[in-house]
Every structure is written in structure tokens, then in C-alpha cells.
Amino acid sequence: MRVDDFDYELPAELIAQTPAEHRTDARLMVVDPVEHSLVHTRFWRIGEHLHPGDVLVFNNSKVIPARLWVRKADTGAVVELLLSRQVNEHEWEALARPAKRLHQGAQLQVLQGMPPREGGGTDSGVTALVTEELAEGLRRVRFHLHEPMEAFLDRVGTMPLPPYIQQPPADRDRYQTVYAAHAGSVAAPTAGFHFTHELLDRLRAQGVETHFVTLHVGLGTFKPVTVERVEEHRMHTERYYVPPEVAAAVTLAKREGRRVIAVGTTSLRTLESAWSDGALQVGGGETGIFIYPGYRFQVVDALVTNFHLPKSTLIMLVAAFMGLAFTKEVYRVAVEQRYRFFSFGDAMFITRWVPGLSGGGAADGSCSL
């Protein structure tokens, strides 16, 4: 399967630069891949397409202000760091740009706010040391702190927005879900942006269950697919955790034939990674699961998601859920109807997955762990 099969034309003006004024005001395309039907509505009406007993599973990971700028003590050169994985209390793996300037043993001064070229970059009072050079531009960096890491990042760091967003929102919380609880992601699980506490309360009142897992989104979300064949791509691993009560609720729903609905691709990847021996397993782990057409879903029956970048692993996952041919048709309609795309854009609710569809359906490929 070729990566180019997942390409599509997108006018630049359809890339959402700002979130909807109110979270639930986003448009919603309700998609039935079995009937090949589409319904255009608004997100606040998603409850009309949910049923008592449905189980919604969200990712409650919280985005950290993981983007930092540092100045080399010896040359004064400024380097950007994107924190990706915490090694211990004060040490992180980070993507350095440009990486060639940072070698093992380099002494760093951490700057506060935006880089000097954008009017920022004052001394934060924190120094750091490059302790190891890793592959693909990664460096291990130890920070010399006199405050908790979370407080340091809140004070010094900026949100690691995707490169297609030109200006960060005035309110940092708009790049968080309202239920974000556990800090650790370098990108938001954006399908959850459309939910408010009021909407969640309304769904619970109509008999819909809501549960939360945690998957900390890592650098893999920024990694482009550079190979020609889909099967050759390798994902970065990411940490996840499934609480006992969530494992029990999802396992029971599957046994009773009720729908398990993933809110976002990260929730879906967590559920599929943690399923074993006919049950959702409790606890944490790391997953590098790569889902593309041909994968047979074990847990997730329906999916809430945004519209994703061409040739990305996320659109490949969506194509695995509803078939490549139908995915292309849905995206063509979304462009034609002027939906807003990507992180701050509109949403889609894929109501069900049915295995074995032919002619570009859900079973036209494979899966890799």
C-alpha cells in the first residue's frame, strides 16, 4: 500500500487557525460507512446519535508547555528544544533544532518565553546540561531546577502547537480538553476539544457512560511519513494507562454487545493496545501500534475524530475504520462543504466499523505493532 494513496487536495484557507468561539459550536459530520451515508450537523447535537449504554472513552492526558529555547554557554547560539519523554525528575529526552549545535556535555542557559528573534528569550535563571546524544536529533537534557518541573514549564515553556497553526490562541486552555488531568503530552488529543462539562453531563443524563484513559502524545504526532510504502513506516512509542474501573466497564460493554466509542485516535490506540484475552487489561504500558487499512478492530465500535493531514498515520487509521475509498469520498465532501480541518477544526463521528468490506473497505491492508 502506497502512502500517496492517502493524499488529498486541501485549500489552505480550510486549515483552522483558531478554535470555534464555543467548543460545541464546531460542525459535525456523522458518517455511517455501512450505509455510505452522511449527516451534517453541529457538535452540540452529538447526543442525538448516541444511545443509552454507549461507552465513550476519552484521553485525559494534559499538554505540557514543552517547547523551550536554550542558549549555549560557550557560543551564545540559540537552539529550540521540544521535550518528548521524561526520563526522571529533572531529565528529559528532547528534540533539538538544530541538533548539530548540541553535543554531549554542552552547558545551556534556558530562556524564558519566545526566542530572541520574536522579542523574547530573557534569562529564566535555569541552566541545563546535555547528558547524551540520541538518534534522529534527540538529546537527553538535565535541568538544574529549584522548583517542580511542572511549575518550571508553566513559567518558561510555550505550547508546542502544530506547524500549520500560525498564531497561538490567546487562552492557553483552548489547546487543552476541559477534562485534561495528567500532564505529559506534547500535542493535544484534539477530538476532545469539542466537549464541555455541560455536554458531558447531558450525555450522562441520557444514559451514556463516560470513561477516561491516559495516553501521553509524543513526538510521533509530528513525525511525517517519509517512506513510499505504508508498511515500512515505524511509529514512536507512547506511554498509556488504563484504570481498573475503565477496564471493567469496557470489558462488560463488549460482552453485552454495547458500543465502545473512542473519542480521538489516541483513545482508540490505547484501547486496541490494551486488549488481550477477551478483556481490556488494567495498568500502564508503551505502545507503538500503527493502524492502517486491514486492521481488525477488537474493541472500538465507533470513533469521534477530527479531519487529519494528508498522508498522515491518522488518516490511515481513519481509512482502516471505514475503508480507504469511502474515506476519500468523505474528505472530498468535507472540502466541498467547507469544513474546517486539523487540530482546531470540525469533527466527524464514524458511527460503526464493519469488518470485511471489499473494494477499498475496512479490510484492504494490514496492521503493524
In angstroms, the CA 104 to CA 87 distance is: 16
Shared-domain flag, residues 283 and 183? yes
b/e for 178-208, b at 16 or more Cβ within 10 A?
ebbeebbbbbbbbbbbbbbeebbeebeeeeb
Q: Is residue 348 part of a domain?
A: yes
Tell me if 311 sits within 8 A of 225, measured CB to CB.
Answer: yes
Cα separation, 274 vs 276, in Å, equals 6
Domain identity same for 57 and 71: no
Q: Which of 131, 156, 181 is the last residue of a domain?
A: 156
208 lies in the same domain as 343: yes
Residues 35 and 81 in one domain: no
263 and 127 in a common domain: no
Cα separation values, 87 from 72, 77, 84, 94, 251, Å:
22, 26, 10, 10, 32
Q: How many domains does the chain have?
A: 2
Instruction: Choose the final residue of a domain: 122, 156, 190.
Output: 156
Helices and strands in the chain: count of H runs, count of E runs: 6, 21
User: What integer pLDDT is reported at residue 368 of this predicted model?
Assistant: 41
Q: What is the spatial distance between Cα 280 and Cα 212, in angstroms, rounded to a whole number? A: 13
For 233, residues 6+ apart whose C-beta sits below 8 A from its C-beta are 3, 225, 227, 290, 313
Same domain, 190 and 113: no
Instruction: Please tell me the distance from the alpha carbon of residue 267 to that of residue 212, in angstroms, as a whole number.
Output: 9
Contact 154, 145 (CB under 8 A): no
Are 221 and 356 part of one and the same domain?
yes
The predicted model scores a pTM of: 0.92
Angle between helix axes 313-322 and 265-274 (nearest 10 degrees) is 70
CB 112 within 8 A of CB 127: no
Instruction: Tell me phi and psi for residue 28, to 5 degrees.
Output: -135, 125
Q: Give the pLDDT score at 116.
A: 65
Q: Which residues contact 101 (CB under 8 A, 6 or more apart)?
A: 72, 75, 77, 79
In this structure, is residue 233 part of a structural domain? yes
Return the CA Rg of the chain. Answer: 21
Looking up residue 8, the CATH number of its domain turns out to be 3.40.1780.10
136 and 179 inside one domain: no
Q: Give a yes or no: residue 48 inside a domain.
A: yes
Crossing angle for the helix pair 313-322 and 324-336, to the nearest 10 degrees: 110
Contact (CB, 8 A) for 282 and 243: yes
Residue 165 resides in a domain: no
pLDDT given at position 119: 60
Range of the domain at 136: 67-156
In degrees and rounded to multiples of 5, residue 324 shows phi and psi of: -65, -45
In a domain, 271, yes or no: yes
Structural domain contains residue 351: yes
Which of 156, 188, 211 is at the close of a domain?
Answer: 156
Same domain, 204 and 138: no
Q: Which amino acid is present at 324?
A: L
DSSP 8-state assignment for residue 98: T
Residue 236's pLDDT is 85
Q: Tens-digit pLDDT profile for the chain (369 aa)?
A: 999 999 999 999 999 999 999 999 999 999 999 999 999 999 999 999 999 999 999 999 999 999 999 999 999 999 999 998 888 889 999 999 999 989 999 999 999 877 666 666 788 999 999 999 998 889 999 999 999 999 999 999 998 888 899 888 878 899 999 999 999 999 999 999 999 999 999 999 999 999 999 999 987 766 789 999 999 998 988 999 999 999 999 999 999 999 999 999 999 999 999 999 999 999 999 999 999 999 999 999 999 999 999 999 999 999 999 999 999 999 999 999 999 999 999 999 999 986 764 333 333 333 444
The predicted pLDDT at position 222 comes to 65
Residue 166: inside a domain, yes or no? no
CATH number at residue 106: 2.40.10.240
Dihedral (Cα; 328, 332, 337, 341), 10-degree rounding: 70
